[in-house]
Amino acid sequence: MNFLILLLSSAISIVCGQDRVITAKLNPGCAECTSANTLVYIKADSSKDSIHQLWDFTGGIPTVVFALTELNSTMQVKWDRQVPVKFLLSETPKYCFAIAIDKLYEYNDVEDKGHISPQCEQRPMSLKYMSWTLVDSVLSDKEVMVRVHGQYKHSWRAGVVDVKLDLIPFYDYAAELPRLIHTANSTLVDVGLVNITTSKDYNSSRFALHMLLVSTDGWGETMHYTMRKSLDDEHTPGVFEIIEIKTPESYVKDDGGYIQFRPVGYTEPKREVSSSTSVRVSPLKKSAVPERSTLERFFRDFETESLLVQDVFVSIGLTGDQFYRQHNFTSWSFTMGYGSPPLETFSLFVIMIISIGLGVPLLLALSGVVYVVISRIRQRNSNQPTRFTDEE
Interacting residues with ligand NAG (CB under 6 A): 16, 18, 46, 48-49, 71-72, 110, 160, 183, 185, 194-195, 197-198, 203-204, 325, 327-328, 338-340, 342
Cα–Cα distance measured from residue 264 to residue 230, given in angstroms and rounded to the nearest whole number: 14
Q: Least distance in Å: CB of 8 to ligand NAG?
A: 15
Q: Least distance in Å: CB of 111 to ligand NAG?
A: 9
Q: Least distance in Å: CB of 48 to ligand NAG?
A: 6
- Cβ closest to ligand NAG, residue 79 vs residue 258: 258
The total of other beta-carbon atoms located within 10 Å of residue 315's CB is: 25
- Cβ closest to ligand NAG, residue 49 vs residue 241: 49
- Cβ closest to ligand NAG, residue 263 vs residue 342: 342
Q: Least distance in Å: CB of 292 to ligand NAG?
A: 29
For 208, 254, 335, the CA distances from 242, given in Å and listed in that order, are: 20, 17, 12
Cα–Cα distance measured from residue 101 to residue 211, given in angstroms and rounded to the nearest whole number: 4
- Cβ closest to ligand NAG, residue 46 vs residue 355: 46
3-state helix, strand, coil in the chain (%, to 5): 20, 40, 40
Helices (H) and strands (E) in the chain, counts: 4, 23
The distance from CA 208 to its chain's CA centroid, rounded to whole angstroms, is 17
Q: Are 155 and 125 in contact (CB under 8 A)?
A: no
Q: Least distance in Å: CB of 162 to ligand NAG?
A: 7
Q: Least distance in Å: CB of 204 to ligand NAG?
A: 5
Cα–Cα distance measured from residue 26 to residue 306, given in angstroms and rounded to the nearest whole number: 30
- Cβ closest to ligand NAG, residue 162 vs residue 311: 162
- Cβ closest to ligand NAG, residue 185 vs residue 236: 185
Q: Least distance in Å: CB of 369 to ligand NAG?
A: 44
> SS3 letters for 110-160?
CCCCCCCCCCCEEEEEEHHHEEEEEEEEEECCCCEEEEEEEEECCCCCCCE
- The CB-nearest residue to ligand NAG is 339
At residue 363, the 3 state secondary structure works out as helix
Inter-helix orientation angle 348-391/2-15, to 10°: 140
308 Cβ neighbours under 8 A, 6+ residues apart:
214, 215, 216, 217, 218, 219, 221, 222, 223, 247, 248
Q: Least distance in Å: CB of 374 to ligand NAG?
A: 52
- Cβ closest to ligand NAG, residue 40 vs residue 160: 160
Cα–Cα distance measured from residue 346 to residue 392, given in angstroms and rounded to the nearest whole number: 65
Peptide bond before residue 28 is cis, with ω within 30 degrees of 0: no
- 92, 63, 90: which is closest to 77 by C-alpha? 90
Q: Least distance in Å: CB of 342 to ligand NAG?
A: 6
- Cβ closest to ligand NAG, residue 160 vs residue 295: 160
- Cβ closest to ligand NAG, residue 199 vs residue 287: 199
